[in-house]
């Protein structure tokens, strides 16, 4: 992308600030940001007061290592679950997050994932029942190995938001996201809800 995705401008904010605000809006008691090689730059540019920050010293190890570092902040605390939200999807609607959390609280599944048109996406809720498994999974296998280990403990919530399966990983994808966001700028939002 030519610059840290966390700092890309999006609807008057940045990718990272948008995700953090959405988490705050749905009542997340604790927010943890896992950063990589651009950590110092991101910490200077984004207001991270009240947010726990962990730095992955070797981001090339992949996202599971960052998740393991974040889990280290909560594994010994009374936390029911973690919601893992990749920063390159700031446009996921707050309604999707609420649906995932509601499914986790009411359904008894250890893992809850969204799907759009039958295709699974992100963010994903991991319950405490799989924390130790996530911490013990080899980095090269990724969190997906935990998700696929036992399908019976995974609840999939079908949603109408295609953002759950859209990565913003290229300049073209970013330009398309901004083009669509301009069309949404006049759309009414619930009071207190972050931009889509």
Residues 170-192 have a mean pLDDT of 74
Write out pLDDT tens, residues 163-178.
999 989 999 999 999 9
SS3 7: helix
Write out pLDDT tens, residues 60-107.
888 999 999 999 999 889 899 999 999 999 999 999 999 999 999 998
The per-residue pLDDT for 183 is 74
**CATH superfamily, with its number, for domain 5-184:** Spore Coat Polysaccharide Biosynthesis Protein SpsA; Chain A (3.90.550.10)
Show the tokens assigned to 188.
């009414």
Show the tokens assigned to 119.
């295709």
Domain ranges of the chain: 5-184
Q: How far apart are CA 100 and CA 157, in angstroms?
A: 7
The reply to whether omega before 110 is within 30° of 0 (cis) is: no
Q: How far apart are CA 160 and CA 187, in angstroms?
A: 17
Residues in the chain: 196
Give the chain's end-to-end CA distance (angstroms, integer): 21
Write out pLDDT tens, residues 2-53.
789 999 999 999 999 999 999 999 999 899 999 998 999 999 999 999 999 9
pLDDT at 196 over 90: no
User: 127: which strand partners?
Assistant: 81
* DSSP strand pairing (154-158 vs 111-116): parallel
């Amino acid at each position: 992308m030519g610059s840290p995705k966390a700092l890309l401008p999006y609807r008057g904010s940045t990718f990272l600030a948008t995700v953090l605000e959405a988490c705050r809006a749905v009542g997340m008691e604790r927010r943890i940001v896992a950063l990589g090689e651009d950590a110092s730059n991101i910490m200077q540019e984004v207001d991270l007061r009240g947010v726990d920050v962990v730095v992955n010293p070797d981001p090339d190890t992949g996202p599971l290592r960052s998740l393991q570092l974040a889990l280290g902040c909560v594994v010994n605390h009374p936390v029911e679950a973690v919601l893992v939200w990749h920063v390159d999807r700031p446009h996921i609607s707050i309604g999707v997050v609420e649906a995932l959390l509601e499914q986790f609280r009411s359904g008894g599944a250890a893992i809850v994932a969204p799907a759009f048109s039958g295709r699974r996406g992100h963010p994903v809720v991991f319950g405490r029942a799989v924390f130790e498994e996530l911490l013990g999974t080899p980095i090269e296998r990724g969190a997906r190995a935990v998700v696929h280990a036992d399908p019976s403990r995974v609840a999939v919530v079908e949603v109408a938001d295609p953002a759950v399966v859209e990565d913003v990983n290229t300049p073209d994808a970013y330009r398309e996201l901004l083009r669509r966001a301009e069309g949404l700028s006049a759309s009414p939002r619930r009071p207190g809800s972050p931009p889509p």
